[in-house]
Each structure stands twice: as structure tokens, then as C-alpha cells.
Amino acid sequence: MGLLSHLGLQELYSASSEEESEEEEEVITEEDMAKLKDQVEEKKKLIATLRNKPSPMKQKLQLLKEAQEFVEKFEGALGKGKGKKFYAYKVMMTKKWMKFQRDFENFKTACIPWEMKIKEIESHFGSSVASYFIFLRWMYGINMVLFGLTFGLVMIPEALMGKPYGSMPRKTVPMSEQDSAMNFATLWDFGGYAQYSVLFYGYYNNQRTIGWLKFRLPLGYFLVGVGTIGYSFMVVIRTMASNANEEGGGDDTSFNFSWKMFTSWDYLIGNAETADNKFASITTSFKITQESILEEQENRKEGNIHLTRFLRVLANFLVLLTLAGSGYLIFFVVRRSQKFAQEGLDDYGWWERNEVNMVMSLLGMFCPMLFDIISPLENYHPRIALQWQLGRIFALFLGNLYTFIIALLDEINLKLEEEKIVKYNITIWEKNLYNGTWLENSTSRPPLDIDPAIVPRGPCWETMVGQEFVRLTVSDTLTTVITILIGDFLRAVFVRFVNYCWCWDLEYGFPSYAEFDISGNVLGLIFNQGMIWMGAFYAPCLPAINVLRLLASMYLQCWAVMCTNVPHERVFKASRSNNFYMAMLLIILFLSTLPAVYTIVSIPPSFDCGPFSGKDRMFDVIQETLDNDFPAWFGQVFTAATNPGLILSFILLMGLAIYYLQATSESYKAANLELKKKLQNSTKEQQVVMWIKKQMELILLISLLLRVPIHPMEEE
């Protein structure tokens, strides 16, 4: 049909060109023009979707050539008539745009790092272990963007255009700390020169604009903080949406055997040992699925339910005990560290200084092991046990994090109290300095010519918060590295070399080589990112530190997994959905922004440090910008828009929209189910119809057979 229309249009074109030679103005009729346009659009669409066609390459290349020739030929024809030049220009621009897009795609794919590393891991361990590394790479991408924002828009402007070190009290190390400011121990704790630098909140000046560019630093600082959270939300939700699009119907159990047969072999496997494991696990899973139905029935008969229930309740009780214990331990340790800080840290050794971070990291390391030991009591199917394990580790990390934050909030309140005292002391100190050379209520004071290092300082609670998060991240990194080196590497070395002189086979029995703990590592990654989101507002250096950490983590774990781990014997995914870990990330993102938003909205900023010093609340910077930099009507519109009545009605509208969408999606699901049932019923009906058909055929056959001898009898 395409060929015919091709011919038809050719005739049209030649006919019209004849016309054209007769009449310079009238060319092709409008109708034919529209038809031609449609054809050209169709061919263009064909070219765009050609790679999705399930035909052999030769055919595709042929189709492509034909389509391209057609488009080339008739695109010129369409250009005739009105707006010819503009149409040709549009065509040229579209071509250039497509070429640009293609080059950009090429560039983007060339930029993706670690592709070969991940491929090696995939071929040795299958797609589930590799999914952790793909997740890590994705996180690295997000952190690079966050790093770009904080580094480029906050740290660099202040470093280049802000007042230099030593020019203001907030930018100088106080006299009392100056001897120890360069010590490694102080720098490792992020005190000393590290504290009074662009790395932390306290260094920034509250000048409205800085430098010759008139860069509005406080506004920039605030917007970057909001922007990092906004960007993270957008990226996570976009990824979840695209995953949901690709997915099937979620937790469907109606195709178990078919899926086992057609989707259980992992085509990524490129290693003989992994392949052996995979064959064995597939065979076992086929055998078990048949047996498990029998097993379940047997279990029901045995009446062991009460014992199992009691054991499960006991296990949950122990777990709750552990969680409560770890929460209390953290609270206790944070209180103790406040006590140490008040008494001065010089009397205490390294452990006391870093107690909080070490305790949190150690708890994160040992409690999951404890849960692992408790779990056999419950006697669940491995996949369900894995889900419980994940849930408990999640609760553990969340509990620890929030206990930490509550303790931190306590400390902030203490610092706020301290600030009032310091403010009062400063006024007295200043009065002494002037020695009565100015009157109490005079508004203009002569500038003080004092070394900024001896000005008494307020306790800058924001920098303190930033420091705590940075220290936590660093100690977390160290714990991960040590766990890998000891838990995986030393264990593998031990099993490998001591096996020669040990009574039982270390490689097959206990302890054997470690398997890569996917879910533990993914959760660790998610929580680490949560800490970054929480602390990034108070320590702009945090995304940079995290980028370095992820880079080191990638190389270390790739090496460790290839060198010391063995492929899993049985693979259980925590959930059938790809979105499971994304959902957890989203929850953590939301929970991480809560404390940050709370502190921004309800706690007044320190009076002598940071870009918001002197303001009542940090978000006043927005109001200030609106008042000063935008035309008057803009401010009015904004104030009108933030009217509580309007906002409340907007929230109501959104709530209604959510309800409506939820209702429609439920109705679609129900319709889907109905159609499925109909399909099943129709097959049953078809079965009945086939059966009846068969019976009727049988009857007909018999009657035909019976008829044959009757005729001769009748004839006789």
C-alpha cells in the first residue's frame, strides 16, 4: 500500500509540477498538501521508532533508507507555496536539533563511569549484587549535583569575594584556641582552622551583597539549602515514576511457574562458578515449589503453632529490647559528651572526644548481627525473614538517628542559653573598652581597632550542628572501611590460608567466605545520604565529603567483592518491586528534611556568626530580598499569596485532588481485576464449548457410521 501511495503521490507531484510550469502561483491543492504532510509525518515517526521494531537488521536498514528518501524528496515539495522560506528554515533547524540531541546522548553515555567494573561484577555475581553498585553510582550522580550547587554557589563566592580570613571576629580563630588550631587532632575533629573556614556555616558574613558582582550571599545560601532538598525530591520521585512505568502489575502470584521458567535465568552471568550456582538454585527452587505445598499442609497438621507463635513473640520482644537499649545508649553518650564539653576537652583522651560517633557506628555494625542471630527463632520463609530483617535494621537506624537529633536539639537549647549570657558579657566588655568615651544612647560608635581574635564569641550552634554531622559521616566511613577489611578481607585470608591446618573444611563449613550483604549495604547508603541531607545546610562541605566518600566506597567495595566474596547460593529479593529501596530513600529524605526545616523555622540564628546573623529568623532573608530587590507590586502579590486563607484553601484543593486520583486508580484496578476474571471465565467457557463440540462430533461420527450399513439394508 505504501508503494501505491508512493506512486500516486509521485504522479501528483509530477502533475502539479506541470501545473506549476503553467501557473507560477497555484501549485498543489490544500487537501493533497495535508495528505502529503501526514505521510511525511508518518515516515518521520517510523524513523524515530525503527529501533523498536522486531524485524531483522537488514529489513530495518532498508525501511530506514526508503523512509529517509521519501522524507527528503517530499519535504522540499511541502515547502512550496506560502511560507516556503520559513518552512525550509524550520526543517533545517529540526535537523540541526536532532543532530545536537544525538551528539548529546553520545556524550552523556560516554560520561557514565565504571561501566566495565559493574559489568565484571554482574557477570560474576548476577544482577542483584550489581544492583547495589548501580544504586551507588546513581547516588554518586546526585551528590555530584549537590556538590556543584554548594561548592559553586556558596563556598566559591565566599572564598573569592567575601572578606578574607582574619578580618572579622567570626572568621578568626579565637586567641584561646590558637595554639592548638593547627594540630592534627583538632583538624581531624574539624575544629581549629577547619572550623573557621568556608567549610562551615559560622564563617559566612551577613553582608547583603558581596564583591563587585553584588552576589547576594545570604539569599544564595538559603536558596541553595532549599534547592538541594528540592532537587533530591524531584530526582527520587522521577526515578520512582519511571520504575513504576516499567513494572508489571506488582505482586501478582498467578504466573509463578511461568515466570520461574522464563525469567529465572540471569543473562548477565558470564562466569562458570556463578552459572553452576544458578543452575543449582533454579533446580532447587523448582523442586521446592512442588514440595512446599505439601509441606505447608503438613505443618498445619502438626499443631506446633503455639510454640512457633511464642518463639516469634519472644524474638520480637528481644528485638524491641535491643532497639530501646541502643536508643538509650546513644542518648546517654550524647549527654556525657555535653558534660565533657562543659568541663573542657583537654582532660580526656581520643575515645571520650569521639564517643558519640563511635558508639553510633558500632551500634550500626553489631545490632544487625544480633537481629540475624535472633531471626532463626522465628522460623520464617527466607524471603519473609529478609523483609523482617530489613524492617528491623531500618527501625534501628531511624531510632538512632532521631535519638541523636533529639540530643542535638538539647545541646542547641543549651547553647542558646549560653548565647544570652555571652551577649550580656560582650556589652560589658565593650563598655570597658570605651572606658566611658561615649554616651549610653548614642547611635554612632567610633570603630574599634582591636584584633578580632580577642573579641569574645557566642557559641555558634549552627557550626556545632554542622561539625557533629561531618564527624558522624567521617566515623561512619571509617567503620565501613574497617568492617570490610576485617569482616570480609581478613576472614577470606584466614579461611584461605588456615584451611590447610584446620580440623574441618573452613571453606564449606563455618565460617567460609562471606556473601555480599546487599540489603545491609543499601540501607547503610540510604542512611548516610539522609545524614548528608540533614547536615548540608549547616556544613556546606558535607556534599563534597560525601562525593569523596562514595568514590572511595565504590573502588573499595568493587575490589572487596571481587576478591573476597562468593556468589549467593540462593537469591531472595527483598521485594518484587524495584521501587522498594527508592521508597525507603524517599521516606528518609522526608524524615531528614523535617529536623532541618524545624531548626530553620523555629530557632533564631546566632547573633555573631553565619549569613543570617542579626535576623530574627533565617527565612527573613526572603522577605528582605522581596522588599529591597523586587518592584513594589511584586512584594504585594507575594504577601497576598502567602495569606493563610489562600494557602489553606490550596491545601484543601490538593487533598481533594489526591482523593480523586486515589479513587480513580482504585476503580481502574477493580476494572482490571474484572477483565482478568472475564478472561479466565471465557477460557473456561471455551473449554466447555470445546467439550460440547467434541461430543457432538462424536455423535455425528457414530450416526454416520451407523447409517452406512442401514442404507444397503433398506435398499434390499
Partner 1 sequence: VHVHPENMGNKQTIFTAQQLDAYQDCTFFTRKEILRLFHRYRDLAPHLVPLDYKDNPDVTIPYELIGSMPELKDNPFRQRIAEVFSEDNEGNMTLDDFLDMFSVLSEMAPRDLKACYAFKIYDFNNDNFICKSDLEKTLLKLTRNELTPEEVNLVCEKVLDESDLDNDGKLSLEDFQHMIVRAPDFLSTFHIRI
Binding site for partner 1 (CB under 8 A): 47, 50-54, 56-58, 60-61, 64-65, 102, 105-106, 109-110, 115, 118-119, 122-123, 127, 131, 246-249, 252, 254-259, 261-272, 274-275, 279, 282-283, 286-287, 290, 573, 576-578, 679, 683, 686-687, 690
- In angstroms, give the least distance from the CB of 573 to partner 1: 8
CA–CA separation, 171 and 167 (whole Å): 7
Minimum CB distance to partner 1, residue 694 (Å): 13
Q: How far is the CB of 274 from partner 1 (least distance, A)?
A: 8
HSE-up of 19 (CA within 13 Å, CB side)? 12
Rounded to the nearest whole angstrom, what is the least distance from the CB of residue 337 to partner 1 in the complex?
A: 45
Residue whose grid cell is 556534599: 543
- The answer, yes or no, to whether the previous bond of 511 is cis (omega within 30 of 0) is yes
Nearest distance from C-beta of residue 288 to partner 1, angstroms: 11
Nearer to partner 1 by C-beta: 262 or 508? 262
* Cell numbers describing residue 599: 531548626
Using the minimum distance from each CB to partner 1, give the nearer residue, 51 or 82.
Answer: 51
Kindly state the smallest distance separating residue 286's Cβ from partner 1, in Å: 6
Instruction: Select 83 or 270, whichever has its Cβ closest to partner 1.
Output: 270
User: Within 565-643, where are the H helices?
Assistant: 579-602, 620-629, 632-641
Burial grade of 408 (CB within 10 A; 0-12, 13-18, 19 or more): buried
DSSP 210: B
509-516, long-range: CB within 8 Å, 24+ apart, which pairs? Answer: 512/566, 513/564, 513/565, 513/566, 514/487, 514/488, 514/564, 514/565, 514/566, 515/565, 515/566, 515/567, 515/568, 515/569, 516/125, 516/129, 516/132, 516/561, 516/565, 516/568
- The amino acid that residue 161 corresponds to is M
> At closest approach, how far in Å is the CB of 517 from partner 1?
20
126/202 with CB nearer partner 1: 126
Task: Tell me phi and psi for residue 247, to 5 degrees.
Answer: -70, 165
The DSSP H or E segment spanning 444 is none
Q: Closest separation between CB of residue 415 and partner 1, Å?
A: 50
Beta-bridge mates of residue 565: 514
Please give the backbone phi and psi of residue 605, each rounded to the nearest 5 degrees, phi first: -70, 160
Residue 115 CB, nearest approach to partner 1 (Å):
8
Residues 6+ apart with CB under 8 A from 204: 154, 158, 162, 198, 217, 218, 221, 609, 610, 611
The Cα-based distances of 228 to 198, 223, 699 in angstroms read 18, 9, 78
Q: 26 or 697: whose CB is closer to partner 1?
A: 697
Could you tell me the smallest distance in angstroms from the CB atom of residue 476 to partner 1?
30
Q: Which is nearer to partner 1, 258 or 443 (CB)?
A: 258
d(Cα 197, Cα 172) in Å, to the nearest integer? 9
CB closer to partner 1 out of 84 and 678? 678
Least distance to partner 1 from the beta carbon of 677, Å? 13
Residues 533/593, Cβ–Cβ less than 8 Å: yes
Nearer to partner 1, 290 or 642 (CB): 290
- Of residues 321 and 679, the one with the C-beta less far from partner 1: 679
Pick from 515, 525, 490, 488: nearest CA to 128:
515
Nearer to partner 1, 102 or 423 (CB): 102
Nearer to partner 1, 258 or 437 (CB): 258
- Report d(CA 408, CA 334) in Å as an integer: 8
Residues in the chain: 716
CB of 475 to partner 1, least distance (A): 35
In this structure, what are the phi and psi dihedrals at residue 645, rounded to the nearest 5 degrees? -60, -45
What is the closest distance, in whole angstroms, from the C-beta atom of residue 248 to partner 1 in the complex? Answer: 3
d(CA 406, CA 364): 18
As beta bridge partners, residue 210 has: 215
* Residue 180 or 271 with smaller CB distance to partner 1: 271
Q: Please say which residue, 268 or 341, places its beta carbon nearer to partner 1.
A: 268
> Among candidates 279, 231, 297, 292, which has minimal Cα distance to 589?
231
Q: Output the smallest distance, CB 672 to partner 1, in A.
A: 11
Q: Coil, strand, or helix at residue 346?
A: helix
CA separation for the pair 403, 419 (Å, rounded): 24
C-beta of residue 221 within 8 angstroms of C-beta of residue 197: no
Of 8 and 250, which has the nearer Cβ to partner 1?
Answer: 250
